Every structure is written in C-alpha cells, then in structure tokens.
Structure 1
Amino acid sequence: MNTELFIARKLFFDKSNKKYLSHKIIRIALFGIALGLAVMIISVAVVTGFKNEIRSKIVGFGSHIQIINFDSNNSYETKPISKNQAFVPEIKKIKGINRVDVYATKPGMIKTDEYLQGIVFKGVDKDYNWDFFRKNLIEGRIPALNDSARVNEIILSEQVLQLLHLKLNDDVFIYFLNEDENLPRILQLKVCGIYRTGLEEFDNVFILGDLKHIQRLNDWQNDQISGFEITVDNFFSTEEIEQRVRNQVISYSEENSTILRTLNITREYPQIFDWLSVIDMNVWVILILLSVVAGFNMISGLLVLILERINMIGILKALGSPNWSVRKVFLYLSFFLTGSGMLWGNIIAIAIIIIQKVFHVVKLDPAMYYVDVAPVNFSILHILILNLASITITIVMLIIPSFLISKISPEKAIRFD
C-alpha cells in the first residue's frame, strides 16, 4: 500500500479542509492554473488554426512546388516550357505528391469606362483542381473548360469586382502587352464566378480562366505552358519532396534542352512565411510566462499547506517517516490539486474552441488578418502535450519548496500551535 498516496487522498477529499485558510488560497491558485492552461490551449489553437488557414490560401493560389523555366524571373511574364516532359510520370509516383497540374500566367489590365485595374491572368486546363476556389466561391460557378475550343469565361475576386463596379455575368475587356509590340492585345471575357479568400494581396491580382487564351496571346504552341504546379499531402514535407522532384528534373534533362528549376511556396512568398514564424515566437513567450505563473501559484499554495499542516508533519516524523516520505505526501496532494485546476482549464478551453469553430463568434478584419473569422485548430495532440508539459513543469517547480519539510523539527512541530 502506498501510504503517502493514501494520506494525500484523505487530505484532498476531506471536507473539513474548508475551514483552513489554505483552502481559499489553493482555490485562487487553482483558478490561476485553470485560466493559464485555458489561455495556452486557446492560444495554440488560434495560432495553428490561423497558420493553417493562411498556408492553405497561399498554396491554393500557387501550389506547394512549381517547376518553371530557369530563365523566368519573379514576374508573371514567364518563358514557356513544354508540358510533355519525360519526368512528369515519374514525379507523380513520388510518395507524398497529391497531384501535378499545368498552368500559365500573364500580367494584364482590366479596363472599364471609368476604372483600370492591373491583374494577373492565370490560365489552367480542364484537369485543374478547382477545390480551393470552389470552396471560396461566393457567387456564380467555375469555368467549364474543355480540350477543344477556348472558353471565354473567368472567375475573379469580389474585391476586383467592387473596384471596377462590375457584377456577375458582365463582360470585361482585358488588355495585354507583349514585348516588341506597340499595340495591346485584347480579350473579351465573361465573369462566370466570384471568389473571396480574404488575402487581398492575391484577391486584388488573380483572375482564372482558360490556358489556351494565354497560349494564343503569347503565340505559344498548344503544348507550351509556364510551368507545373505540384501539390503535396503534407506542407511540412515540402522541402524534402522538392529535393526529390529536383533530382527527377535534373536526371531527365537533355543536352541543349530548356533548363528547368523548382521553386517552393516558402521561397516564392518569404515575407508571409517569415511573418508566420514571428507569430510562433510570440506563442512560445506566452506559453513560458503562463507556465511560470502557474508554477509560482502552486508554490505559494504548497507553502501555505505545509505551514497549516506542521502538526501532522511532526507526528509523521515522530512515527519514523523519513523526510522524503513526508514530502511525497505534499507532492501527491499538489498533483491532485493541480490536476483539478487543469481539468477545469481543459473544459473551459475546449468549450471556447468548439463554440468559435461552430458559431464563428470572434470576427476579424480580412484587410488586417487575411481571414474574416478567428480560425481555431482543435488538436487532441496539442492539448495532450500542453497538459503533460504544464503538470510536469508545475510538479518540478514544487520539488524545491518541498525541501522546507526537512527543516521542520518533530518536537517543535508537535508543539506548534
């Protein structure tokens, strides 16, 4: 029988403890632990949810990995490559790759009677995965692309539509200027769908339509494109998979053929991903501070418990209990009390996360945060890790003040009144 655990349980469940001053102090400490753990869980849920949401939106516009012409610069006016590459079937076999799509981009300008707006026309084929834009579509439909005739339909963002005072099913005139040409080339296309992602940096720029329009504007052949977009299953394996893709591209390259290069999404938009990394640092600061505060809350509670139980400590020592055995009684008791506070912290945090996830109570300004509601990521793994880390840190911090018990003399403790 574990005597120390038995005594700690009797002390924890003894209703007569309410008459002690420590009962009120412990309740305050437990409230601090519950509140601190709830804030930690909610902070991690919001930050991971926010990062996942931003990453998914950026990837939705540009995929995880791109294969483009080595001579293409950072602009959207690209050098063509052939879509009939020998390495494509081998890349599709790489574990972790979800799909490979072809695309082309060309900068242009939408002109109405009163307004001008610079845009990037992204052309795709009929096999393109529209899931991201279908999810963010607020009105209309996706262009019905095919392999034969050019389709004169596009989707554009709600932001661009409002800037140009257009509406669904309107015709728009888009002007494109090629190098060494003095007169622009013009496309008349119909707005068949309107999307909104909240990423104004992208919403203000991208319109999507038929790849064949860009091929005609650039005088390209039917098999010429700007590049390939590769979507992977796990964002965090992007670097590793890009290296394997690069190896395949290099191994299938031929002498005097077009030189290709790979580009992943983090290098294409480093400013956004650097900003997301800064958010991680802020969360770590919050977690460390709250863990320390919770630990000191329990230290103060443990010291009060020891002072009020000096008679009991003296009796246990007089009966032959070693210092470590008496210390274990109070460490077990602290564990029970900390667990009680953490239980309430979990209940509060999970309730708030579920309410936000279902009812979207907290709204945000998309112009500032790229999302219109505060996203939350409900992860059992994160909750378990935070609970384990919190209780471990708290108990470790309580070992030091428990040494005070070894300084208590049995004779003086029994006389203590």
Structure 2
Amino acid sequence: MNFEYFIAKRLIRGGADKISISAPIIKIAISAIALGIIMMLIAIATGDGLKVKIREKVTAFNGHIQIYNFDNNNSDVSVVPVSLEQDFYPKFTDVEGISHVQAVASKGGVIRTETTFEGIIAKGVGKDYNWNVLEEYLVEGELPQYNGDLNGDVLMSRIMANRLQLKTGDTFFSVFFKDAADKLPNQRKFNITGIYDSGFEEIDGVLVFVDIRHIQRMNKWETNQVGNFEVFLDDFDAIDAKTNEIYGNTLSTLDTRNIKYKYGPIFEWISLFDFNVALIIGIMIIVAGINMITALLVLILERTQMIGILKALGSANWSIRKVFLYNATYLIGIGLLWGNFIGLGIIWLQNTYKLFRFPNPKEYHVEFIPVHIDFFTVLILNIGVLVLCLLMLLLPSYIITKITPVKAIKFE
C-alpha cells in the first residue's frame, strides 16, 4: 500500500473520533467547496439554459439558415421568387447535419378592424412546414393546416390579438401592398384558428402565419415559386460552418444567411452570458481555494509533532506533503459530493416544477428561468475544481519543508 495514502487514511479516520481545533475550520472549508460548486452549477445551468431557450425560440420561427434570392437579402418580405425545383429541396442530401428544409414566402400588409389597425408581415407556409417546433408556443386554439384546399385560417400572436381586440374564431380583413404598377391593393379575409406567444416582441409584433398560396396568388407567382427556404440543423453550434457549406452547395443566384445575422443584437447579448458564468466560476474557485489553504495550514499546525517524528524516521519533505495533499483531496471530494447533490437537485427541481421565474419576463424573453446542463460539463467542472484547488495547495504545503524534527517533536 502507498505509504502516504496509508498515513492520510489513518488521519482521516482518527480525526472523526477526536475533537480538535481544526474540526470547525475543516467544516467551513468543506462548506465553501460545496457552496462554490452549487453556485457554479446553477450559473452554468441557467446561463446555458437561457441561451438554448432563446436559440430555440428564434430558430422555431425562422429556421437556422435561410436561402434567398440575392435581391431579397435586405428585406423581410419576399420580392423575387425562388423556384422549388432545387437539388436541395425537399431533402438536402449534399450537406450533413440538416434535419429539415421548408419553403416559405412573406408579404407586408395591414390588418384593419372597426376601431384600429396594425401593420403585419404575413408569413406564407405550406404543407411542408414543420409545425412541431411551434407547438409549445401555442397558447390558444390550434395550429392551422394547409394540406387541403386554400383556406383563410391564420396563426396570430397574443400581442397582436390584444392590440386588435381579437380572439380565436374571429375573422378580420387584411390589405396587402402591390407593385407600383397596380393601383388597387389586395384584400383578404382571414379567420384566427390559433394564438401563439414566443416572448419576442420583434416576432410577435408583426408575424402572422397564412397559407403560402395566398402570397403566391397576390404576387402572381407560379405554384412552384416561393420566397425563400428555411433550413433546420441538428446542431446549432455548427451554424457558421453549415452556412458556408450550404452556400457552396447552392446556385450562384442564391445567397444564404443564418439567424445570427438576422438577430445580431440578440446573439451578441446572449454571448455575454459566457463571460458572466466564467467570472462566477473564477470567483468561487478562488474563495474555495482560500478556505482550503486555511484548512491545510491548520492541519499542518495541528500535526507538527507528527511531521517532526516522520522526518526523524527519514521521511522526505515531498512524502510528508503528499500525506496532507491526500487529506485535502478527501476534504475537497466531500465538498464536491455534497455540492453536486444539492446543486443538481436544485437544477432538477427547477427544470421539473419551474419554481423560479424572472421578475420581468419581457427583458429575458422567457417567463420561467430555464436550466440546461449535461454530464460532460458537470464532469469537467468537478475535475477542474479539484485540480485547481490542489494546485493552490502546493505552495502552502511547502511550509512543511521548513519544519525541523527537533523543534517539531517538542512543539505543543
């Protein structure tokens, strides 16, 4: 058996049966480690959770990547149509990591009622549209279906419905703009089948879902012409690489851009979360390390006579230092164990029961505080805390080399 490990284990076992000056300090050090890991886990889980939730919301309404005609790139409405007859539609087989491709078209207009009016962007979608990603944002009614004959069913946001004083089942008229050559605008009658709430006023304030055939008819397009394509990816982290790869696998008349370009300020804002999380982790590791340094110095002071005896028997300084580092590793491990148990428990409770919510949901675009963490992140965090704390203990353990056997044995 390893000599240093054997001594450290005996010290750990013996310490439990003996009241010493180090006992309360050790408890404080373990508590600091536990509290630190709890704070770090919560910081990572809430930071990543908010990023993931915001990404999911934005991509649900826009896709990860959009494929446009070059003439449409600076506009939210479809101007020049794109043919459905593309090699990448309906399945993008030339690029891996793509889960779905759908065709859409958008047109600007105005909803008018007897008392008020609102400007809108009507997003035309067809039978290939993936409604599954919008189900969690449906708050009233049901999602429209555009698989059969042309109908006037629409999906409207709660913000817009409240402004217009409309509800599910109500009908309304919309006026859509034509080209300059056409004198009279297009008018359409729609019926609200469902109401959604994404939490993003940039989306909810203007976007209404309609049958894409309305857009095609008003724009005098053919049935195989659409405004643009929305591409959904399996992995958001690959969005930049996939944007370039998709661009290289489409016609020269088409351009691609991703939602990070369209919603630049939002993604710049959520990128700051990483810095905040890193700052919290750094502070917690420093606090935990300082507490462990204090505990180690007290342990060394308390075992000064033992150190002197071991040196008198021929033990090397590094060998004795390893004894106390083993002891410190045990204490850190106890703190990590309790910290993970409590921290992951809090994260599970929040994810399951939504106990905590934002005081002002509009600022964060979500009502409840979202959490997200994976096993690999937890593992790396624990290993990092353990290694960094032990590295911080190497310097204070050097004090053992300054203890002389004669003075140590006489020490009381």
Q: TM-score range by the shorter chain?
A: over 0.9
One-letter amino acid of the counterpart of residue 209, structure 1: V
SS of alignment partner, residue 14 of structure 1: helix
Instruction: Indicate whether 1:363 and 2:364 are aligned.
Output: no
2:163 aligns to what? 163
1:153 aligns to what? 153
154-163 or 37-46: bigger deviation = 154-163
Indicate the RMSD between aligned Cα atoms, in angstroms. Answer: 1.5
- 1:16–1:282 CA distance, 2 compared to 1 (3 A): closer
Q: Is the 8 A contact 2:160 2:205 kept in 1?
A: yes
- 1:36–1:370 CA distance, 2 compared to 1 (3 A): same
CA distance in 2, matches of 1:416, 1:387: 38
2:389 aligns to what? 394
Q: Is the 8 A contact 1:92 1:99 kept in 2?
A: no
- 1:16–1:381 CA distance, 2 compared to 1 (3 A): closer
SS of alignment partner, residue 118 of structure 1: strand
2:48 aligns to what? 48
Instruction: Indicate whether 1:174 and 2:177 are aligned.
Output: no
CA distance in 2, matches of 1:385, 1:19: 35
One-letter amino acid of the counterpart of residue 273, structure 2: I
SS of alignment partner, residue 72 of structure 2: coil
1:263 aligns to what? 257
Q: Is the 8 A contact 1:137 1:196 kept in 2?
A: yes
Paired-residue identity, %:
42
2:286 pairs, out of 289, 292, 299, with 292
One-letter amino acid of the counterpart of residue 55, structure 1: R
- 1:196–1:87 CA distance, 2 compared to 1 (3 A): closer
Instruction: Indicate whether 1:304 and 2:304 are aligned.
Output: no
One-letter amino acid of the counterpart of residue 328, structure 1: K
1:410 aligns to what? 405
CA distance in 1, matches of 2:87, 2:33: 60
Runs (5+) with no aligned partner, structure 1: 254-258
Q: Is the 8 A contact 2:289 2:392 kept in 1?
A: yes
TM-superposition CA deviations, 1:179-210 (whole Å, max 9, x none): 31444321110000111222222112211110
45-54 or 81-90: bigger deviation = 81-90
One-letter amino acid of the counterpart of residue 407, structure 2: K
CA shift for structure 1 position 77:
2.4
1:316 aligns to what? 310
- 1:136–1:87 CA distance, 2 compared to 1 (3 A): closer
TM-superposition CA deviations, 1:157-183 (whole Å, max 9, x none): 112111211111100211211231444
CA distance in 2, matches of 1:130, 1:16: 60
CA distance in 1, matches of 2:229, 2:307: 73
SS of alignment partner, residue 301 of structure 1: helix
2:201 aligns to what? 200
1:256 aligns to what? none
Q: Is the 8 A contact 2:94 2:249 kept in 1?
A: no
CA distance in 1, matches of 2:84, 2:47: 39
Q: Is the 8 A contact 1:331 1:398 kept in 2?
A: yes
SS of alignment partner, residue 390 of structure 1: helix
SS of alignment partner, residue 19 of structure 1: coil
1:128 aligns to what? 129
Q: Is the 8 A contact 1:92 1:100 kept in 2?
A: no
69-78 or 22-31: bigger deviation = 69-78
CA distance in 2, matches of 1:285, 1:239: 27
One-letter amino acid of the counterpart of residue 366, structure 2: V
- 1:331–1:213 CA distance, 2 compared to 1 (3 A): same
TM-score, structure 2 normalization: 0.96
SS of alignment partner, residue 123 of structure 2: strand
Q: Is the 8 A contact 2:91 2:100 kept in 1?
A: no
TM-superposition CA deviations, 1:310-346 (whole Å, max 9, x none): 0111011111110001000000000000100111100
Q: Is the 8 A contact 1:154 1:192 kept in 2?
A: yes
CA distance in 2, matches of 1:34, 1:281: 22
- 1:89–1:128 CA distance, 2 compared to 1 (3 A): closer
SS of alignment partner, residue 249 of structure 2: helix
TM-score, structure 1 normalization: 0.95
1:379 pairs, out of 330, 354, 374, with 374
Instruction: Indicate whether 1:281 and 2:275 are aligned.
Output: yes
Q: Structure 1 stretches (4+) deviating beyond 6 angstroms?
A: none
CA shift for structure 1 position 87:
4.4
TM-superposition CA deviations, 1:279-328 (whole Å, max 9, x none): 11111111111111111110111011111110111011111110001000
1:347 pairs, out of 341, 347, 355, with 341
TM-superposition CA deviations, 1:80-134 (whole Å, max 9, x none): 1111124436733421111110000112221112222222111011121101212
CA shift for structure 1 position 348:
0.8
One-letter amino acid of the counterpart of residue 133, structure 2: F
Q: How many residues align?
A: 409
One-letter amino acid of the counterpart of residue 25, structure 1: I
